[in-house]
Amino acid sequence: MPNECTDLYHRLQLRRNPDGTFTRKHDVFPRTPPSSDPSLPIPVLTKDITINQQNNTWLRLFLPRVALSSSNPNPKKLPLILFFHGSGFVILSAATTLFHDFCVEMANTAEAIVASVDYRLAPEHRLPAAYDDAVEALRWIGKSEDEWLRHYADYSMCYVMGSSAGATIAYHAEERVELKEDEEKMGDIKRKIDISKLNIRGLSLALPIGADRDHEYCNVRAGNGVEKMRKIREVGWRVLMSGTGGDILEDREKELAQLMEEEGVQVVKDFHGIELIDIKEDNR
């Protein structure tokens, strides 16, 4: 196992320090800074906002220029999409160019405000840290006084989604808030969820120490998984599950979709080509 972990650390550009902490190479993947200057010829404005300073969690807001184009003092409000990035709970961030560009395209095409959450990463912060951060982000969104959200976001049209591990985070956050907590705590936000992939890649570094793939964070039927699906059906979730047809985790993705269907959850399935991210092999 130590050799396996060492190889994973090398591939993911992580260096384990003697005190158990980790040093990350932040230049492995390109990052894009936010830009909120409306004078620039860009279709979507962006800015970063701190959620929890102690945990160093934040989100990047994407505001399509169409929201600023009207002279009406009461402009039409836009849908709000809460997005959780991949990959594997271990690498990348909301500032990674890959996800930044995706959110820009989504905000511009859908004419929606996008809030991309930057959560704590494993192995420094193993699950459920990312799930806790996601729940905190949902609460923050619900009570935020941010100008963009207050003036332009329509909380009656709020969607929760994620890519790869981010979809798993979206599911667990939504499940915790919707099924376990008082609905009034979230104000008038009415949520739907988009599960793009239930991705287990890298979970050896993200799962609680000693857990395996039969843990409830990994196996959709473990624990009270079936009961959760029944509750999801009762509260009326509408789920779009988009999986990658060539993914080695395809069986797990289809198992989740099958469980949802068995328990009467409204689910639309879309399995397509695989999403690839190149990880540098060198350790420069």
pLDDT recorded at residue 12: 79
pLDDT recorded at residue 246: 58
Between 11 and 137, residue with greater pLDDT: 137
Q: Is the pLDDT assigned to residue 49 strictly greater than 60? A: yes
Active-site residue 87, yes or no?
Answer: no
Among the listed residues 87, 116, 163, 164, the single catalytic one is: 164
Average pLDDT over residues 30-56: 96
Average pLDDT over residues 46-63: 98
pLDDT band with cut points at 50, 70 and 90 for residue 4: low
Q: Is the pLDDT assigned to residue 125 strictly greater than 90? A: yes
Q: Is the pLDDT assigned to residue 274 strictly greater than 60? A: no
Active-site residue 85, yes or no?
Answer: no
Among the listed residues 36, 70, 214, 272, the single catalytic one is: 272
Q: Is the pLDDT assigned to residue 30 strictly greater than 90? A: yes
Q: Is the pLDDT assigned to residue 21 strictly greater than 70? A: yes
What phi and psi values does residue 118 have, to the nearest 5 degrees?
Answer: -105, 110
Q: Is the pLDDT assigned to residue 111 strictly greater than 90? A: yes
Q: Is the pLDDT assigned to residue 1 strictly greater than 60? A: no
pLDDT band with cut points at 50, 70 and 90 for residue 245: low
Q: Which sign does the torsion angle of CA 91, 271, 251, 138 carry?
A: positive
For the stretch 156-208, pLDDT in tens is 999 999 998 998 899 888 888 766 654 444 344 333 333 333 333 445 678 78
Average pLDDT, the chain: 81
Contact 209, 126 (CB under 8 A): yes
pLDDT band with cut points at 50, 70 and 90 for residue 6: low
pLDDT band with cut points at 50, 70 and 90 for residue 251: confident
* Helix (H) or strand (E) segment spanning residue 270: strand 266-272
* Helix (H) or strand (E) segment spanning residue 158: strand 153-162
Highest mean pLDDT among 123-127, 172-176, 213-217: 123-127
Among the listed residues 118, 132, 133, 247, the single catalytic one is: 247
Active-site residue 164, yes or no?
Answer: yes
Helix runs in the chain, H state only: 2-11, 97-110, 129-143, 147-152, 165-180, 203-206, 225-235, 250-262
Q: Is the pLDDT assigned to residue 147 strictly greater than 60? A: yes
